[in-house]
């Protein structure tokens, strides 16, 4: 079976008022009160979109996000109303809060890279001396980021968020409370599937003045997972952890001398490497949800998406 990837969309849905093409998702606003979010097969790292798409990645992202949004409605209200296509989510149009809530249970990824540089405070939060990469924190820490319109998001402390007036104290503390509860739920669900939820990020918006969860949650793009089996042994032996996340793509780019810096040249992605990324995403879907992944293999993906979205919008 030939694998194809959806890397661009250019729809004109009924009552469409605007469109935003993000790094991975294309967001179409309908009549200023609904959003149609299409999870493309694009993949990004170091704030750069890689030149080739990953077959089934968009379907995995959309379906993992939908799974967790449904499983956490009892904790926090969210934006999702329907998913009429494997790559599409439709829901409430919210006013995004320009603060990303990053929560870390372990010293990994960006936090570990900062730690190796000698930093012991990240986003105003202290990190103890003597930690090894991938060690757990005594308690999960929240290390927020101020969302940039373009380029890198900015590490920022709670104190700076409030002093700059990015959000009110009441809204921030609501997001803080939701973030801890969502991470606790995600960690329990991961543990039940033989995984460790290492770190993740949540985005929130305002809908009629209420803080609600938006975008995706607990996907391999927004989260880092380790395999629980062998974790302790690997830490004891100072071995790298086996993970299901996008980090292995970043590691491959670093090995090929690309970190998104000026002068870096994007390495070529082989067919085999693309297939390996696709398989990783599918594996995570099946591990974290306990469901078999059914590959949607329509001959014309854009026609399928357009038909399914238009038929749904007729019901609104």
- Look at residue 151 and tell me whether its pLDDT is greater than 60: no
CA neighbours closer than 13 Å in the CB half-sphere of residue 13: 30
- Look at residue 257 and tell me whether its pLDDT is greater than 80: yes
- Look at residue 307 and tell me whether its pLDDT is greater than 90: yes
Question: pLDDT for 192-207, tens place per residue?
Answer: 999 999 999 999 999 9
- Look at residue 27 and tell me whether its pLDDT is greater than 60: yes
Burial class, 170, CB count within 10 angstroms (exposed 0-12 / middle 13-18 / buried 19+): exposed
pTM: 0.90
d(CA 218, CA 236): 27
Name the pLDDT band for 62 (thresholds 50, 70, 90): very high
Name the pLDDT band for 46 (thresholds 50, 70, 90): confident
User: Tokens 């696709």 appear where?
Assistant: 278
- For residues 38 and 46, the model is more confident at 38
Of 55, 16, 52, nearest to 268 by C-alpha is 52
170-173 long-range contacts, Cβ below 8 Å, gap at least 24?
A: 171/97, 171/206, 171/211, 172/99
d(CA 109, CA 56): 25
- Look at residue 302 and tell me whether its pLDDT is greater than 70: yes
**Mean pLDDT within 181-202:** 97
Contact status, residue 219 vs residue 64, Cβ threshold 8 Å: yes
What rounded mean pLDDT belongs to the chain?
Answer: 94
> What share of residues in the chain are helix, strand, coil (percent, to 5)?
30, 25, 40
Model pLDDT, residue 244: 80
Q: Which helix (H) or strand (E) segment is 100 a member of?
A: strand 99-106
- Look at residue 37 and tell me whether its pLDDT is greater than 70: yes
Question: pLDDT for 163-177, tens place per residue?
Answer: 999 999 999 999 999
Name the pLDDT band for 245 (thresholds 50, 70, 90): confident
Of 101, 112, 22, 56, nearest to 282 by C-alpha is 56
Pair of tokens at residue 77: 């209200």
Model pLDDT, residue 299: 86
Identify the weakest region by mean pLDDT among 117-131, 172-186, 285-299.
Answer: 285-299
Q: According to the CATH classification, is domain 96-244 in 3.30.470.20?
A: yes
**Mean pLDDT within 213-226:** 92
Of 94, 91, 95, 93, nearest to 312 by C-alpha is 91
What CA–CA distances, in Å, run from 224 to 45, 102, 109, 191, 310?
14, 11, 9, 13, 35
Question: pLDDT for 98-117, tens place per residue?
Answer: 999 999 999 999 999 999 99
How is the chain split into domains, by residue range? Answer: 96-244
């Amino acid at each position: 079976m030939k694998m194809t990837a959806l890397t661009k969309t250019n729809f004109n849905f009924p009552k469409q008022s605007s469109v935003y093409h993000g790094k991975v998702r294309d967001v179409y606003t309908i009549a200023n009160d609904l959003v149609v979010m299409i999870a493309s097969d694009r993949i990004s790292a170091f704030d750069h979109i890689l030149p080739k798409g990953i077959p089934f990645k968009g379907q995995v992202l959309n379906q993992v996000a939908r799974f967790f949004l449904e499983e956490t409605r009892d904790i926090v209200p969210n934006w999702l109303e329907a998913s009429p296509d494997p790559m599409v989510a439709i829901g409430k149009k919210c006013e995004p809060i320009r603060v990303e809530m990053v929560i870390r249970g372990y010293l990994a990824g960006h936090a570990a890279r900062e730690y190796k540089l000698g930093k012991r405070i990240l986003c105003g939060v202290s990190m103890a001396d003597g930690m090894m990469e991938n060690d757990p924190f005594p308690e999960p820490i929240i290390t927020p980021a101020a969302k940039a319109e373009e380029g890198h998001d900015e590490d920022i402390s709670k104190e700076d968020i409030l002093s700059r007036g990015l959000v009110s104290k009441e809204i921030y503390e609501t997001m803080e409370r939701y973030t801890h509860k969502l991470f606790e739920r995600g960690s329990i669900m991961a543990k039940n599937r033989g995984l460790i939820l290492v770190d993740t990020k949540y985005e929130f918006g305002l809908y009629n003045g209420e803080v609600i969860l938006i975008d995706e949650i607990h996907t391999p793009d927004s989260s880092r997972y380790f395999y629980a089996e062998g974790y302790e042994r690997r830490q004891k032996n100072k071995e790298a952890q086996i993970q299901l996340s996008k980090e292995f793509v970043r590691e491959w780019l670093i090995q090929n001398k690309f970190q998104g810096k000026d002068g870096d040249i994007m390495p070529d992605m082989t067919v085999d490497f693309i297939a390996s990324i696709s398989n990783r995403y599918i594996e995570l879907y099946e591990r974290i949800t306990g469901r078999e992944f059914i590959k949607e293999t329509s001959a014309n993906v854009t026609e399928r998406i357009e038909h399914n979205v238009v038929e749904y919008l007729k019901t609104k």
